[in-house]
Each structure stands twice: as structure tokens, then as C-alpha cells.
Amino acid sequence: MSMTDPVSDFLTRVRNAIQAAHETVEIPSSHLKADMARILKEQGYIDAYSIDRPQGAPGDMINIRLRYTGGRQSAITGLRRVSRPGRRTYVDAHSIPRVMGGMGTAIVSTSRGVMTGHDARAAGVGGEVVAEVW
């Protein structure tokens, strides 16, 4: 299966796992996706993640343990791909979007690595707005 947009695949797998109330979700690994998982963990959207190589698998997989509240509500209410392969979205430090009035998180790929919109704004760097989470 050819993968044209791995980031969309990442977001869709997480979205589907939440919809099906799964505890964990497995996603093929890449540097960008590992950084996205790290940000989701730092921001409290997921409980944990690990990068493993399953037996006989060609590449590494990211295992994400999803976070739910006591009432089985997911910590993630929405995920949106912003910059797509057909239409990239780049911003400077001053125009990084605020997600849900600051309640959500923008994931921005900058020249200093992948960081939250808040951190990018603080560091004064812009970049590609990869996704928004809330």
C-alpha cells in the first residue's frame, strides 16, 4: 500500500482507535510521527508511547497508549491535519494559530524541530503547521 500522507494516516489511526475505545494504537514510525507522539504525551493527550520493532516487521512501530477520563471520555476531542501534501501551510512566529482559543495545541514543524505552537511562538520561530489537537 502506498502511503501518500503518513501524517494523515497517523491522525486517522488515533481518531479511529478513540472512536472504537481502544487502549492502544500501533502506527508505523517516522521521526515526524515520533515527535508528534512526544508532543501528545507532553500535552497530556495520551498516557504513553513507545517505539518498538515487532518480530519480523520491516520497520519500527509507535505504540500509543490512549488516555481516557473516568467516564471513558478520550482526552483528545479532535485532531485536524492542517498542512497537506497538496496544500502546505507555513506560518511565521506571529501567525501561528491558536487552537480552540488556547485550549488546544498546534503541532508545528520548525527549523528547530517539531514543537507546539506555544513553544514556537515563544522561541520566535515559524514553520509548517502540521496538525491541530484539542
**Do 104 and 55 share a structural domain?**
no
Q: Are 39 and 120 in contact (CB under 8 A)?
A: no
CATH number, domain containing residue 92? 3.30.1490.10
Q: Give the residue among 54, 57, 37 at the shortest CA–CA distance from 46.
A: 37
Distances (CA, A) of 96 to 99, 102, 104: 9, 11, 13
**Do 61 and 83 share a structural domain?**
no
Is 71 inside any structural domain? no
Is 93 inside any structural domain? yes
Q: Would you state the pLDDT for residue 2?
A: 53
Is 72 inside any structural domain? no
Is 112 inside any structural domain? yes
**Do 61 and 10 share a structural domain?**
yes
The whole domain housing 18 covers 6-66
Strands (E), the chain: 24-28, 46-52, 61-66, 79-81, 90-91, 105-110, 113-116, 127-133
Compute the mean pLDDT over every residue in the chain, rounded to the nearest whole number. 95
**pLDDT tens column, 32-62:** 999 999 999 999 999 999 999 988 878 999 9
